[in-house]
Structure 1
Amino acid sequence: MAANSTFVSFDGGIQRLEGEDTKLIIPAVLSTISGIGIGGNLLVLVVLIYVFASQSASEAYVMLANLSATDLLILSLCAPVRAITYYKQTWTLGILACRTTEWIQHSCLAVKAFTLLATSQARHSFSRNPEDQLNFRQKNVVITLALIWTLALLFPVPDILFSRLKEEGNISLCISERTFNSQDAMRIFHKLLPLGIYVLPVILSAVSHIRNIFLIKPSSNDEAFFSRQYENSLMYLSIIAINTLLMLPEWVSWVWMRHKSSESCKPSAALLIFAQVCVYLSSAVFPAVLLTMYVPLRESLGNLCSLLACRQSKHRLRNVNEMRMVVMKVLDERACATLSDKHSDASCQTLPDLEHFWSERRNTTVAEDSDPLPWERLVQSKVELQPLTSVVPLLENPV
């Protein structure tokens, strides 16, 4: 370490951990959380795409899609880096990943905070003037998202400037260090970053949603509409509360590491690991909260499942009909082949009945016992008839 520099913290996970248990357990936990969270956020994005295709998009749906995409980036880009680092117990991803790993994670966390803040402000404006906010203004939403991502990517740029790769013995360490010339700038950055992407967005978002709940005044005409607005405000408050509680260990340990008075006062490795696990757990819990508490999205998920089941049943029926047609075609071909074989044999052979008829006609000698006209050969009988004179007395003198 240079004489004019001060070691602050490890980037991308702690690279000096002892014990084989931590080498296996921590990557397994991070991989499990990452896999579950990626699946849940992909499901949310699929449902939102189905909503965009089936009906007109709304500002709330666009902001929810932005939140889900941000959590997907955190779980797919940042969590695997920590898992690999804890498994290897050294830095193996190069200088570029070392300089950008903390910057990417802090940028995504800033996007989540700014998106929740923009959503709360939009819902507050909607509660005050519902008639003016009913139509979806796509241009304004695109501008808002562009501003959110630009500010979120620029705000943690000092993470890139003060991260470096250091060789120590036969292992590589990715660290964040504070030089003598940059101590004042680093102190300001270490105070502004948690304040700008954690404290202020949380407070302003919570206050806006709480005000929305108290501003809702249901009437007899639009009771269902105001009830839905009340449920949506509670859902956003739940997301903000869960995100705040799970991000609290990360920012406490982050500020503690950079504002500690001495090396003996630094936080323990267990607290640092627990804080990083909570960061990814907050991104994995978001789809569960959204799909259970947001009624329109839950209904859209049910409709999508019904549509997929219907299409699958139609596909199966189509396959059965196609198999049936193939079987019938094969049977018809076999029947035609059998008939053609019989016709070809009949052209060169005499039918059995006709053959028997002609063989019987060839034998012209008829047996005596089977002669159909036996009386033609009878010999004339020599018996003489009795004269009628002998019969007449009998007729005259009957007994």
Structure 2
Amino acid sequence: MNMNSSSDLLQYAGGFQVMEDAEMKVALPVVLGVICLVGLAGNTLVVAVLLYDFRQAKSSVANGLIVLLSATDLLILLFCAPLRAAVYSRPSWPLGWFLCKTSDYFFQACLSAKSFTLAAVGHARYQHVAEPKKYIHFKCRRLIAVTCSIWSLSVLLPVPHWLFADLRRREDHTACVLEIPAHAWHFMRVFGVAYPLVVYLAPLGFALACLLKALLKNEPAGNTNRTPNRRYEIRRVTAMLLALSGAFALMRLPEWVAWTWSRYRGVSGAAPPVALLVAAQLLTLANCAVNPLVLLAASQDFKDGARSAWAVATRRRAGGQGGTSTFGEKVCAAAPPHAGAASSLCALPTISARQDVAICRDLGQSVPPDVQHFWQHRENAAPVDNNDPIPWESQEQA
């Protein structure tokens, strides 16, 4: 895989361009296509299952933030990954000036939102473990406020990626580059240090610290409400969230190594290898497909929610095809064992009336004769007069 020059390589925005290796031009889009398919299916499933849990009153702030995390992954897979695949497969920038200005900016904004969301997930999980009674109820306003704060900060921090990205004609091709003007050189030197600290080290360090503290937290003295199974469940969910944050931190690490290497290597220093830069972007995009796999492998609640959502969807689909006779069977099975009560319950309107009536008729005919005689005797017996205000006089006369 060859590029024109190492110095040009470091300035490309929106993906690496002008690759001369024909095999890589085919292989990279194929790999990105697989990542997109797996990630779109997995994150759509995560969003659907957690939204179903919200409808079943199984909600928490951490679950809401995981929905936000999956929605951010969907944005990356829908808008950033296909653009990278198109750029890798073409000899020149094919997408115009507007996408050159916004593609890298939007990608960085989504990645920043993921970092801040994981920090919020870690904090919410620690608060839930430390004070379960206070944070047991889901508060939609709190989730909306956290989401607005995260995205407001995420769209502001990568603004230099939008300001300094532009199209440039170089030799026989057009490239989208990040070109720093002379008057902004010192600002970008500071930005090169502050940006990784704010969007990578600080939020992920905070998230990992909160989750580790929640994982190692001991039960308060005298607290006997949590059974061993309940404590194990709390630790297991915390460990799963810790795995999500750790996977994102590790898969983003190569990109920040290349970021720091390229900006502080000096004039005569060696540039980062092309393989490192390509692998860094692939790992960053692959993380969008890893998160649903972690949830599916480590979260029993997510598995149960997926089964419940699938069962509801299957039941609704079967109901639309006339398979709702089980409702009539349940009603008739709960009826008292005599014909009159069975007929009164089975007279209730049902969706598939013909099958229900047949079931109820069979149920009425299957009642033994002695049981029918017992219920008929109870129905025909004259009621006892218990309205005598002075029953003791009647008893004395008797």
Question: What is the TM-score of this pair, normalised by structure 2?
Answer: 0.75
Give the direction of change, closer, same or farther, for the CA distance of 1:6–1:13 in structure 2 (3 Å limit). Answer: closer
2:226 matched to 1:233? no
Which residue matches 1:222? 226
Following the alignment from structure 1 to structure 2, what is the Cα–Cα distance between the partners of residues 10 and 255? Answer: 16
Q: Deviations over 1:110-129 (max 9, x none)?
A: 11111111121122222222
Cα distance in 1 for residues equivalent to 2:86 and 2:299: 35
Q: 2:293 aligns with which of 278, 288, 294?
A: 288
Seq. identity, %: 31
What residue number does 1:309 align with? Answer: 314
Query: Aligned residue for 1:53?
Result: 55
Aligned pairs for 1:318-337 (under 5 A) are none
Q: State how 1:371-390 maps to structure 2 within 5 Å.
A: none
Paired residue for 2:364? none
2: CA distance between counterparts of 1:8 and 1:19?
Answer: 18
Mapped partners of 2:191, 2:77: distance in 1:
25
State the Cα distance separating 1:146 from its structure 2 match.
0.5
Indicate conservation of the 8 Å contact 1:216/1:230, yes or no.
no
Q: Rate the CA distance shift 1:220–1:128 in 2: closer, same or farther, 3 A.
A: closer
CA apart distance, 1:204: 1.2
CA drift of 1:226 comes to 2.6
TM superposition outliers: structure 1 runs of 4+ over 6 Å: none
* Partner-residue secondary structure (3-state), 1:202: helix
Counterpart pick for 2:248 among 239, 243, 248: 243
After TM superposition, list the pairs within 5 Å mapping 1:12-23 onto structure 2: 12-23=14-25
Matches within 5 A, 1:185-224: 185-217=187-219, 220-223=224-227, 224=229
Q: CA deviation at 1:316?
A: 4.4
Q: Distance in 1 between matches of 2:25 and 2:134?
A: 56
Please name the residue that 2:30 is paired with: 28
226-235 vs 107-116, greater mean Cα deviation: 226-235
Conserved in 2, the CA contact under 8 Å of 1:127 and 1:216? no
Greater relative contact order: 1 or 2 (C-alpha under 8 angstroms, separation 6 or more)?
1
Alpha-carbon contact 1:7-1:176 (below 8 Å) kept: no
- Contact 2:109 2:158 (C-alpha < 8 Å) held by counterparts: yes
Query: Counterparts of 1:6 and 1:23 in 2: how far apart (Å)?
Result: 18
Please tell me the residue identity of whatever aligns with 2:264.
H
1:203 Cα offset (Å): 1.2
Aligned to 2:363: none
Taking a change above 3 Å as real, the CA distance of residues 68 and 216 of structure 1, as seen in their structure-2 partners, is: farther
Q: Does residue 263 of structure 2 align to residue 261 of structure 1?
A: no
Amino acid of the structure 1 residue aligned with 2:155? L
Matching residue of 2:140: 138
Question: Counterparts of 1:6 and 1:65 in 2: how far apart (Å)?
Answer: 39
Which structure 2 residue ranges, 5 or more long, are not aligned?
1-6, 325-353, 355-398
Give yes or no for contact 1:216–1:226 (8 Å, CA) kept in 2.
no
What CA deviation, in whole Å up to 9, does each residue of 1:159-189 have, x standing for no partner? 1111111012332100111221111101111
1:259 deviates by: 2.3
| Structure 1 residue 41 displacement after superposition | 0.6
Gapped regions of structure 1 (runs ≥ 5): 320-324, 326-399
Once the two structures are overlaid, the 10-residue window that deviates more, 275-284 or 291-300, is: 291-300
Q: State the distance in 2 between where 1:183 and 1:48 align.
A: 46
Match of 2:277 among 268, 272, 281: 272
Task: Identify if the C-alpha distance between structure 1 residues 7 and 307 changes in structure 2 by more than 3 Å, giving closer, same or farther.
Answer: closer
C-alpha displacement of 1:266: 0.9
Provide the C-alpha distance between the structure 2 equivalents of 1:162 and 1:186, rounded to a whole number of angstroms: 10
Amino acid at match of 1:291: L
TM-score, normalization by structure 1 = 0.75
Matching residue within 173, 176, 179 for 2:178: 176
Provide closer, same or farther for how the CA distance between residues 199 and 240 of structure 1 changes in structure 2, counting only shifts above 3 A.
Answer: same
Matched pairs, number: 316
Moved more, 87-96 or 223-232: 223-232
Letter in 2 for 1:221: N
